[in-house]
Amino acid sequence: MATNLQRIHYSRTVAPTIEPLSLDEALRHLQIGNIGDNDYIQGLIKVAREVTENATGRALMSSTWLAVCEDWPSNFRQELIVAPVNAISHVKYYADGSDTLTTVSASNYTFSSAVSPATLTFDDDFAFPSLANRPDAVQITFTAGATTTAAVPPTLKHALRILVRHYWDNPEAVANGKTEDLPFGLRHLLESNRVSGWVV
């Protein structure tokens, strides 16, 4: 999805169970009332969320993510540039000569979400094990995103409304997976909310 300077690759492993924009909110913004095409509009909401997340590096609703890289951080600290990170589930690695993941004890690292990006810091006395030569040798599983729709930033909820309207008016953009030619105001909303270090 995106890569930071330390070649960390991010992917979502468990999708959110609710969308940040309700069907009623979308219908009000479209000003069309309930026309019986709810499944299609709910699909537009999902597309709008995914486009917003891809453009900003922000998980809008609570979901599970996996960050993988080929080596340990060089300064004992690893930034996680998906935001907002709520918790680290576990850190695992493939040891040299092994094809089985080993879990790092949580007592060997601390997690801080008080800073942005959130930071995983290994203890100074933690002896980093030798790793297998593979791009996913180190794996960090974490949860990120708002736990309630009310906690989603208003600017991003408005971006979702604009996107839903844009795709409603331009259905071929959805059918062909296009994200270019977005309104200037929408681009500004997305870019102003982009997580530092996130690569689109």
pLDDT digits (tens, 9 = 90+) for 108-126: 999 999 877 899 999 999 9
Q: What is the mean pLDDT of residues 10-17?
A: 95
**Is the alpha carbon torsion for 151, 89, 85, 191 positive or negative?**
negative
Q: Indicate the pLDDT class of residue 172, thresholds 50, 70 and 90.
A: confident
Domain extent listing, the chain: 17-60+153-192, 63-144
pLDDT at position 173 is 54
CA distance 42 to 31: 15
Q: Indicate the pLDDT class of residue 33, thresholds 50, 70 and 90.
A: low
CA distance 132 to 167: 45
More confident residue, 178 or 94: 94
Total-model pTM? 0.84
pLDDT at position 25 is 92
More confident residue, 179 or 61: 61
CA distance 127 to 115: 25
Q: What is the mean pLDDT of residues 149-165?
A: 94
In this predicted structure, the answer to whether residue 35 has a pLDDT above a threshold of 90 is no
Q: Indicate the pLDDT class of residue 2, thresholds 50, 70 and 90.
A: very low
Q: What is the mean pLDDT of residues 15-28?
A: 94
The amino acid at 100:
T
Q: What is the mean pLDDT of residues 165-182?
A: 66
**% of the chain surpassing 70 pLDDT:** 88
Q: How many helices (H) and strands (E) does the chain have?
A: 5, 8
Residue 93: DSSP 8-state: E
